[in-house]
Structure 1
Amino acid sequence: MTNDTKNVRSSRARGMGVAALRGLGLALISLPGSVLCFVLSLVSIALIPIGVGLVTTPWVLTGVRAYADWRRVLAAEWGGVRIPPAYRQLPKGANPWTRTFGMLGDPATWRDLRWLPVDMTAGFVTALLPAVLVLYPLEGFALAAGLWRTMTGGPYGEYGPYWYGFVPVSDQTSALGAGALGAVLLIVAHRYTVPAFQFHFRLTRAVLASDQGRLAERVRVLTETRRDAVDTSAAELRRIERDLHDGAQARLVAMGMDLGTIEMLLDKDPEKAKQLVAQARRSSADALSELRDLVRGIHPPVLAERGLGDAVRALALRLPIATEVNVELPGRAEAPVESAAYFAVSEVLTNAVKHAGADRIWIDLHHVDEGAAGMLRVTVTDNGKGGAVVGAGSGLAGIERRLGTFDGVLAVSSPAGGPTMVTMEIPCALS
């Protein structure tokens, strides 16, 4: 077994254990919390006609909102599911009557109240399920190891067999059958524990999220990506200007001076003039090379002529590390999408060469039929030391901003010790 396989399995086992523990803790806290909020809300609203509810309802509903917001934070941090709040603002200093009916007139309040019974039933089950998937197989192993002797028979044999799933355990042979069933269930747990935990948060989003909230989140994302796109374009223009000024322009100016000197030396010192001609020829070649590099940095000709797959292959050939490229693209994406994907891959490869300490890189490009138009998915994996994070100032953060312009996403898996896997997805259709 290779170190990469061991690291992947170890990472999955940790993820399964974390999901089980978090799910168990969430189930134990959410059930009484949801029941308490729901009961207090019903009682407080029922007391409005006699006046008591006018005082208690704003406080109770504020507590419900705080509880729902806490669950939104957990959904984002533990499940990667964003559920933006969409509560209406109440006027400051409002009297109890205005606050009470202002909150009751808010659709978000009724979404919260509908979510509470869902959370105390289906939400409780889906939160507890990851722990059950992990812990129940352990019971089968314990029965096979001899625990069955204390679980069956009773002092006078009145208990009968102990049922583990569909296996009646009454002796060592049936206990081994329970252990075999536990092994099968552990395989199932290894595959479905984390998805089951994430399903809990998707269920929460399905009840708590609103179209208004999603629209507000969409506006926020578009505003940020537009600002990032403008900043990136401005930075790119400054880079091009700087490269032209310090590179090709300086060489062309020097060539002009050399040609002026050559013109004066043609009759006086032909030998010196020949040397300057050779120097001017070298300067022109260097200037042409720098202009080609600059053009390649703006939009590589191979990308325009042959598409993303061949452009990434050409990129891989220039790396000092053994690189394997797998391309399954039945067509071509639009030019801006191809350009964004190409430079994102280029940045990831640069990071791998400079910082990962890897000696092998794998690149996979393919198009999957997801959503209305499909998804371009690019995966770059290296066997380096790991530890890559998406943070402010890092190259990965710049890639995330570049992809965000096209509603693309970036996912990084880089445990300490490696391997590092960077997955980029951009919604697009192929020609």
Structure 2
Amino acid sequence: MSLACGITLFVLSVVSIALVLVGVGVLTTPAVLGAVRWYARWRRAAAGPAPYRPWPRDLRSGVTGQVERCVFLLKDPATWRDLQWLLADATAGFVLALLPTALTLHGPYGTVVAAGVWRAMRGEWFLFVPLTSQVNAFLALGLGWCLTALGLWAGPHLLRTGSLLTRALLAPTREMALRRRVDRLYETRHDAVDSSAAELRRIERDLHDGAQARLVAMGMSLGTVEALIDKDPEQARELLAQARQNSAEALTELRDLVRGIHPPVLAERGLGDALRALALRSPIPVEAEVDLPGRFEAPVEAAAYFAVGEVLTNAAKHSGAERIWLDVDYDAAGGALRIAVTDNGRGGADTAAGTGLAGVERRLGTFDGILAVSSPPGGPTLVTMEIPALPDERAGDPDRRAGTRP
């Protein structure tokens, strides 16, 4: 079945690409190569992530879009590697898969021959042994079981060789992996710039509509107080009380704004204590297990803190969970900060569903971090984050706590 499928797809691909020259292939090649990619993904298994280039976002519809899809697929180096794999899998891969079975069956076959069937096969050959006598039949028996033993011994090695062949042809090359990394870095950096611009606009809006407005009102009240302090002391006293209230509210809003930019507990106590404080403020009970070797660079700590905050907020809004578990540790061997957030809610979380997880993924992508979500319907939901990081040896430096570096 696998052989027939591979040969069929290879022949269809060659014919379809050849027909591009007369225009027909432009319509058939995207569909055929799409089937090849589906088959390659199914057979790829542990060979690594699919090395295909991401589809352009501005593909048009109609015949023009079909031509663009065809050209894009033919320009993708992974397409030609898939075709090489189809040919190799249909030939060498088929032989490597069939050979162990063929060798193993020689023992039972030789046994049947030696039991007397050789008389009906007189004059034929068992490999290089002519079946002309009972002695030769016993020789065929011994040869057959030797081949069976060889097949049982060599079978795993031959199958492993076939898997290595598939891995070598389907896994991304160094150049493909580097290109994917560059594309991902470009996308995440672009998202980071957009997020930073949006954050700056939010801060400006909060300052303009909140603290700034209260401070302006307080200044106007103080001006009125200055004019009324001799004429109407009672009203001046009321305006002073109002100005005091405005100053307190402005101070509260400024503190909330600063906490949203960089929480003081994060700067003063580090990521571990900041995450524990974040867990305590969650509307859903959170069991936090944090085991970190010390401090990390301030941008990494901030990214981890706000990522966890977004995940907890997302769980509180959408999961319907009764309890959340937060586990944070450091993988010294891999040099990465690992965070797992689990809830016993209804499940169904998806990074593409607009629930805030996509923003977390973009935030982590700025640091080459990854986000994995497992959330089957009915729960539980497991959100795993990993950020490459090294402990900061300057953790005790007061300049670092102040957010400045020489």
TM over 0.5, shorter chain? yes
Q: CA deviation at 1:212?
A: 2.6
Q: CA deviation at 1:392?
A: 5.3
In our comparison, the structure showing a higher alpha carbon Rg is: 2
Percent identical: 60
Distance 1:247 1:77 in 2: 54
1:295 maps to what in 2?
258
Distance 1:109 1:342 in 2: 44
3-state SS, counterpart of residue 282 of structure 2: coil
CA contact (8 A) 2:44 2:167 kept: no
Q: Amino acid of the residue matched to residue 386 of structure 1?
A: G
2:370 maps to what in 1?
409
2:385 maps to what in 1?
424
**TM-score of the aligned structures, taking structure 2 as reference length:** 0.63
Q: CA deviation at 1:241?
A: 0.4
Please provide the CA RMSD for this pair.
Answer: 3.8
Relative distance call for 1:428 and 1:278 in structure 2 (3 A) is same
Distance 2:281 2:289 in 1: 16
Relative distance call for 1:368 and 1:31 in structure 2 (3 A) is farther
Q: Amino acid of the residue matched to residue 257 of structure 2?
A: L
Q: CA deviation at 1:32?
A: 2.2
Distance 2:95 2:351 in 1: 33
CA contact (8 A) 1:387 1:414 kept: yes
2:205 matches 1:237:
no
2:57 maps to what in 1?
none
Correspondence 1:145-184 to 2 at 5 A: none
Alpha-carbon displacement from aligned partner over 1:98-144 (angstroms, at most 9, x marks no partner)? xxxxx9xx897477435643577779999xxxxxxxxxxxxxxxxxx
Relative distance call for 1:295 and 1:32 in structure 2 (3 A) is same
Distance 1:39 1:424 in 2: 43
Alpha-carbon displacement from aligned partner over 1:196-219 (angstroms, at most 9, x marks no partner)? xxxx99974542222232222122
2:284 matches 1:316:
no
CA contact (8 A) 2:266 2:273 kept: yes
Q: CA deviation at 1:70?
A: 3.2
Relative distance call for 1:312 and 1:252 in structure 2 (3 A) is same
Q: Amino acid of the residue matched to residue 387 of structure 1?
A: G
Which among 24, 30, 39 is matched to residue 71 of structure 1? 39
Distance 2:230 2:365 in 1: 63
Which among 246, 256, 271 is matched to residue 219 of structure 2? 256
Distance 1:242 1:123 in 2: 66
Relative distance call for 1:284 and 1:123 in structure 2 (3 A) is farther
Q: CA deviation at 1:391?
A: 1.2
3-state SS, counterpart of residue 379 of structure 1: strand
Distance 1:281 1:326 in 2: 43
2:338 matches 1:377:
yes
Q: Amino acid of the residue matched to residue 207 of structure 1?
A: L
Q: CA deviation at 1:36?
A: 5.4
Structure 2, gaps ≥5 residues long? 16-20, 55-73, 98-161, 393-406
Q: CA deviation at 1:249?
A: 0.4
CA contact (8 A) 2:361 2:371 kept: yes
Which among 310, 329, 350 is matched to residue 366 of structure 1? 329
2:316 maps to what in 1?
353
Q: CA deviation at 1:328?
A: 1.1
Q: CA deviation at 1:304?
A: 1.3
**TM-score of the aligned structures, taking structure 1 as reference length:** 0.60
CA contact (8 A) 1:75 1:83 kept: no
Asked which structure has the greater RCO (Cα within 8 Å, sep 6+), the reply is: 1
CA contact (8 A) 1:403 1:426 kept: yes
1:219 maps to what in 2?
182
Which among 38, 50, 66 is matched to residue 82 of structure 1? 50
Aligned pair count?
295
CA contact (8 A) 1:72 1:83 kept: no
Distance 2:80 2:5 in 1: 17
Q: Amino acid of the residue matched to residue 69 of structure 1?
A: R
2:112 maps to what in 1?
none
Distance 1:321 1:40 in 2: 56
Relative distance call for 1:218 and 1:318 in structure 2 (3 A) is same
Relative distance call for 1:41 and 1:295 in structure 2 (3 A) is closer
Which among 211, 228, 236 is matched to residue 273 of structure 1? 236
CA contact (8 A) 1:81 1:201 kept: no
